[in-house]
Amino acid sequence: MALPVAFFGVFFAYPVAAIVARGLKADGGWQFGRIWDVVAQPGIGHVLWFTTWQALASTALTLLIALPGAYVFARFDFRGKQILRAVVTVPFVLPTVVVGTAFLALVGRGGLLDEWWGVRLDTTVWAILLAHVFFNYAVVVRTVGGLWSQLDPRQEEAARMLGASQLRAWRQVTLPALAPAVAAAALMVFLFTFTSFGVVQILGGPTFSTLEVEIYRQTSEIFDLATAAVLTVIQFMAVGAILAVHAWTVRRRETALRLVAPEVTARRPRGAGQWALLAGVLASVVVLLLLPLAVLVQRSFDAPGFGYYRALTSDDSGVFLVAPIEAIGNSLEYALAATAIAVVIGGLAAAALTRRDAGRLVRGFDALLMLPLGISAVTVGFGFLIALDEPPLNLRGSWILVPLAQALVGVPFVVRTMLPVLRAVDARLREAAAVLGASPWRVWREVDLPMVRRALLIAAGFAFAVSLGEFGATVFIARPDNPTLPVAVARLLGRAGELNYGQAMALSTILMVVCAVALLLLERVRTDRTGEF
Amino acid sequence: MSTTKKFAVVAVGLGLVTLPVLTACGASGDNGSADPKTVTLVSHDSWAVSKSVLKDFEKRSGYKVKVLEDGDAGQAVNKAILTKDNPQGDVFFGVDNTLLSRALDNGLFQPYEPKGSGLILPEYRVDQDKHRVTPIDSGDICVNYDKKYFADHKLAPPSSFDDLIKPAYKNLLVTENASTSSPGLGFLLGTAARYGDDNWQDYWKKLKANGVKVVDGWEQAYNEEFSGSAGGKKAKADRPLVVSYASSPPVEVIYADPKPADAPTGVATGTCFRQVEYAGLLSNAKNTEGGKAFIDFLLTKEFQDDMPLNMFVYPVREAAQVPEEFTKYGPQAEDPETMDPAKIAANRDQWVNSWTSLVLK
Domain CATH code at residue B244: 3.40.190.10
Pair B282, B265 in one domain: no
Residues in chain A: 533
Structural contact between residues B189 and B346, judged by C-beta atoms closer than 8 angstroms = no
pLDDT at B9 (0 to 100):
43
Closest CB to A385 among B29, B50, B82: B82
Pair B188, B291 in one domain: no
Structural contact between residues B88 and B40, judged by C-beta atoms closer than 8 angstroms = yes
Q: How confident is the model at residue A423 (pLDDT cuts 50, 70, 90)?
A: low
Contact A343 B29 (CB under 8 A): no
Pair B170, B133 in one domain: no
Pair B147, B283 in one domain: no
pLDDT at A377 (0 to 100):
82
pLDDT at A443 (0 to 100):
76
Residue B25 at interface with chain A, using a CB cutoff of 8 Å: yes
**Whole-number Cα distances in Å, A61 to A121, A191, A193:** 16, 15, 12
Please indicate whether residue A287 or residue A51 has the higher confidence score (pLDDT).
A51
Average of per-residue pLDDT across A397-404: 82
The Cα–Cα gap between A476 and B253 comes to 31
- What angle separates helix A42-75 from helix A225-249, to the nearest 10 degrees? 40
Pair B20, B76 in one domain: yes
Rg (CA), chain A: 24
What secondary structure letter does DSSP report for B166? S
Closest CB to B3 among A311, A355, A475: A355
Pair B106, B22 in one domain: yes
Q: Which residues contact A181 (CB under 8 A, 6 or more apart)?
A: A143, A144, A146, A147, A148, A530, A532
Please indicate whether residue B3 or residue A335 has the higher confidence score (pLDDT).
A335
Pair B179, B110 in one domain: no
Pair B197, B345 in one domain: yes
**Angle at alpha carbon of residue B208, lines to B202 and B214, rounded to 5°:** 125
pLDDT at B18 (0 to 100):
42
pLDDT at A400 (0 to 100):
85
The amino acid occupying position A158 is A
Q: Is A194 helix (H, G, I), strand (E, B) or coil?
A: helix
Mutate to test the interface with A, among B33, B70, B75 (most CBs of A within 10 A): B75
Helix (H) or strand (E) holding A29: strand A29-30
Q: Is B123 helix (H, G, I), strand (E, B) or coil?
A: helix
The Cα–Cα gap between A86 and A82 comes to 6
Pair B155, B119 in one domain: no
Q: Average pLDDT, whole number, for chain A?
A: 81
**Angle at alpha carbon of residue A144, lines to A139 and A147, rounded to 5°:** 135
Residue B134 forms beta bridges with which residues?
B279
Residue A352 at interface with chain B, using a CB cutoff of 8 Å: yes
Contacts of A310 in chain B (CB under 8 A): none
The amino acid occupying position A274 is Q
Among A420-424, A495-499, B162-166, B215-219, the least confident range? A420-424
Structural contact between residues A346 and A219, judged by C-beta atoms closer than 8 angstroms = no
Structural contact between residues A15 and A387, judged by C-beta atoms closer than 8 angstroms = yes
pLDDT at B10 (0 to 100):
44
Among A90-104, A234-248, A376-390, the least confident range? A90-104
**Surface of A (210-239) touching B: CB under 8 A:** 216-217, 219-223
Range of the domain at B72: 3-139+275-329
Contacts of B19 in chain A (CB under 8 A): none
Closest CA to A320 of B268, B50, B39: B50
Contact A333 B67 (CB under 8 A): no
pLDDT exceeds 70 at position A238: yes
Q: How confident is the model at residue A258 (pLDDT cuts 50, 70, 90)?
A: low
Residue A306 at interface with chain B, using a CB cutoff of 8 Å: no
Closest CB to B78 among A219, A320, A399: A219
Pair B173, B301 in one domain: no
Q: What share of chain A is helix, strand, coil (3-state, %, to 5)?
A: 75, 0, 25
Residue B151 at interface with chain A, using a CB cutoff of 8 Å: no
**pLDDT > 90: what percent of chain B?**
72
**Total of domains in chain B:** 2
The Cα–Cα gap between B122 and B284 comes to 29
Q: How confident is the model at residue B52 (pLDDT cuts 50, 70, 90)?
A: very high
Pair B225, B311 in one domain: no
The Cα–Cα gap between A277 and A282 comes to 9
pLDDT at A532 (0 to 100):
37
pTM score, whole prediction: 0.86
Structural contact between residues A15 and A388, judged by C-beta atoms closer than 8 angstroms = yes
pLDDT exceeds 90 at position A486: no
pLDDT exceeds 80 at position A409: yes
pLDDT exceeds 50 at position B14: no
Residue A25 forms beta bridges with which residues?
A30
The Cα–Cα gap between A147 and A260 comes to 10
**pLDDT > 90: what percent of chain A?**
17
Pair B79, B97 in one domain: yes
Structural contact between residues B63 and B313, judged by C-beta atoms closer than 8 angstroms = no
The Cα–Cα gap between A487 and A469 comes to 9
**Whole-number Cα distances in Å, A236 to A229, A465, B136:** 10, 25, 42
Nearest CA of chain B to the CA of A316: how many Å?
8
pLDDT at A62 (0 to 100):
97
pLDDT exceeds 50 at position A397: yes
Closest CA to A269 of A257, A282, A258, A253: A282
pLDDT at A530 (0 to 100):
43
Please indicate whether residue A257 or residue B139 has the higher confidence score (pLDDT).
B139
CA dihedral for B157, B160, B164, B166, sign (positive or negative): negative
Structural contact between residues B66 and B42, judged by C-beta atoms closer than 8 angstroms = no
What secondary structure letter does DSSP report for B259? P
**Whole-number Cα distances in Å, A68 to A64, A141, A496:** 8, 9, 42
Contact A386 B1 (CB under 8 A): no
Among B32-36, B54-58, B218-222, the least confident range? B32-36
Contact B255 A497 (CB under 8 A): yes
Contact A220 B75 (CB under 8 A): yes
